[in-house]
A and B are shown apart, each in its own frame.
Chain A
């Protein structure tokens, strides 16, 4: 029997003419070997086609990213400034939020209040808040 092996892949790829399809299907009806080959080739074809479409390395072709609007320098500055403000807020929150192993202000006061009243050089603790405008310059 003449097995139309190569028609199998072309059939799966939609590359056969109507007469060729009819010829193949008629053959497959009576040929277990070719029917099995169809299954195998179909499995392999699906496996290759399911390989992920990889992304190009970033910046390889800037032209390929044309639809991604680049950040203008001023916008970049704003983003940086916003990030600085967020970082500052987090830092301050960390200072004032009690956490395990830290000492509350009340406790601090009761511990050092007497000394503070006797020692004029022992002033209240100061939290230095940096000038936001200076930070962002």
Chain B
């Protein structure tokens, strides 16, 4: 993953636009929401690049993407449909604004996509960032603002739930 900052937001759009779109699509199963998110994220990147401090660009970008996604969820006041399983630790719930937020719309018939949409948000987000976007656990931890151990746990539990859902 490149750690240096792209020169312009156009370059961010060119390099990351499709990944952002796929992230949003796999999280929502909805192409309109995904398209809206891409535009919102690029708008925020455009505003934020001037004050960007060199560091983990991936972490910065995906934090923006995640926040834009969650803001959209809040704005549309979507109701939770798949609460977190009981074994999820309370620290996670307290630290994340998305713990009780879920998308309920399923717009494609694909089994894997459908199973993804049935996952609790945190697990789905971790799996998508890992397997669709291709981030490392460290990068996911920065983007989501949780310890790497939590990322590890969410990805594994998410995959186990997917397995149950697909069999």
Contacts and interface: CB of A to CB of B under 8 A. Distances in A.
B113 interface: yes
Contacts of A64: 13-14, 17-18
A69 B132 CA distance: 29
Contacts of A60: 17, 21, 35, 38-39
A122 B31 CA distance: 64
B26 A13 contact: no
B155 interface: yes
A63 B116 CA distance: 30
A65 B14 CA distance: 7
Given A13-B137, A51-B26, A6 B132 contact: no
Interface string A43-56: 11101110101111
Contacts of A10: 137, 152, 155-156
Nearest to B127: A48
Contact of B156 (A5, A47, A48, A63): A5
B162 interface: yes
A24 interface: no
Size bin of chain A's contact surface: 20 to 34
A9 B156 contact: yes
Interface string B4-37: 0000011001100110011001100001000100
Given A6-B152, A56-B21, A60-B39, A51 B159 contact: no
B18 A41 contact: no
Contacts of B130: 13
Contacts of B127: 48
26 contacts: A6-B152, A6-B153, A9-B156, A15-B137, A41-B160, A41-B163, A43-B163, A44-B159, A47-B162, A48-B112, A48-B127, A51-B113, A54-B18, A56-B17, A56-B21, A56-B38, A57-B35, A60-B17, A60-B39, A61-B38, A61-B39, A61-B42, A64-B18, A65-B14, A66-B10, A67-B14
Given A51-B110, A61-B39, A63-B14, 8 more contacts: A13-B130, A41-B156, A44-B162, A48-B162, A60-B35, A61-B38, A63-B42, A64-B18
